[in-house]
Amino acid sequence: MRVKRWQRLMELFGVFFKIGLFTFGGGYAMISLIGHEVGERRRWIGEDELTEVFAIAESTPGPIAVNCATYVGYRREGVAGSLWATLGVVLPSFVIIYVISLFFEHFMAMTVVANAFRGIQVAVAFLILRAGLRLARKLPKGWFALGLCAVAAAVVLAVNAFGWRFSTIWLILCGGAAGLLAGRVAKLGKGGSR
């Protein structure tokens, strides 16, 4: 029985190590791969719960990929699972950055590396777009969700177009506040108690 638990922990580590190793561009680029590996391929977490995990991981302190790995690991194997999954997703980046830092100036001067990074930027943009579309499909249907998305998109476009300094944390906080307010209004509209 202990061997089976050890195997499950190593599987968690391996899955998140692969996610950490083959995803460039940070946590947002990892969302697509996490969704594929954890939700579609292994079905460790259902699609609805996975969407909630992404929302919670984004709104809590720390990198989104680390938060997702910690949650999924805990959900599968408790504290030990969260430790192994988190180690798996962090270790590749740590090793790669450490090795690059030893040879950074020589590394970036290589034409092959500069060209590779240009290609990686395109792939990262696609991964982020794919993750965004996946999350958009899982949004609750209705005017409130559609309106909130439209407002958030307009704010992000305006901030980028005019070069304003604006933290996306405010969008997250405003979205949460709007959701609480909408829930309260809906409850009062149905004759709910205060």
The predicted structure's pLDDT at residue 82 = 95
Q: Are residues 127 and 152 in the same domain?
A: no
Q: What is the pLDDT of residues 150-169, one digit of tens each?
A: 888 888 888 888 888 878 78
Q: Are residues 193 and 103 in the same domain?
A: no
Measured distance CA(68)–CA(161) in Å, rounded: 31
Q: Which of 90, 106, 138 is the last residue of a domain?
A: 138
Measured distance CA(188)–CA(185) in Å, rounded: 5
Q: Are residues 86 and 155 in the same domain?
A: no
pLDDT at 52 over 60: yes
pLDDT at 59 over 70: yes
Q: Are residues 74 and 168 in the same domain?
A: no
Q: Supply the DSSP symbol for 37.
A: I
Residues in the chain: 194
Q: Are residues 164 and 144 in the same domain?
A: yes
Tokens of residue 163, six digits:
């070069």
Domain region containing 9: 2-138
Which band of pLDDT confidence, cut at 50, 70 and 90, is reported for residue 189?
Answer: confident
Q: Are residues 134 and 40 in the same domain?
A: yes
Of 13 and 175, the structure prediction assigns the larger pLDDT to 13
Q: What is the mean pLDDT of residues 60-71?
A: 87
pLDDT at 177 over 80: yes
Q: Are residues 129 and 179 in the same domain?
A: no
**For the chain, how many structural domains are there in total?**
2
The answer to whether 33 touches 22, Cβ cutoff 8 Å, is yes
Query: In the chain, pLDDT over 70 holds for what percent of residues?
Result: 93
Q: pTM score, two decimals?
A: 0.60
Q: Are residues 122 and 156 in the same domain?
A: no
Q: Are residues 168 and 193 in the same domain?
A: yes
The predicted structure's pLDDT at residue 3 = 65
Q: Are residues 48 and 132 in the same domain?
A: yes
The predicted structure's pLDDT at residue 84 = 96
Measured distance CA(128)–CA(169) in Å, rounded: 18
Which band of pLDDT confidence, cut at 50, 70 and 90, is reported for residue 25?
Answer: low
Of 14 and 55, the structure prediction assigns the larger pLDDT to 14
| Residues in Cβ contact with 19 at an 8 Å cutoff, skipping those fewer than 6 apart | 30, 33, 34, 37, 65, 69, 88, 89
Q: Which of 115, 138, 161 is the last residue of a domain?
A: 138
Q: What is the pLDDT of residues 78-99, one digit of tens each?
A: 999 999 999 999 999 889 888 8
Q: Which of 138, 155, 175 is the last residue of a domain?
A: 138
Q: Are residues 15 and 73 in the same domain?
A: yes
Query: In the chain, pLDDT over 90 holds for what percent of residues?
Result: 21
Which band of pLDDT confidence, cut at 50, 70 and 90, is reported for residue 55?
Answer: confident
Q: Are residues 114 and 48 in the same domain?
A: yes
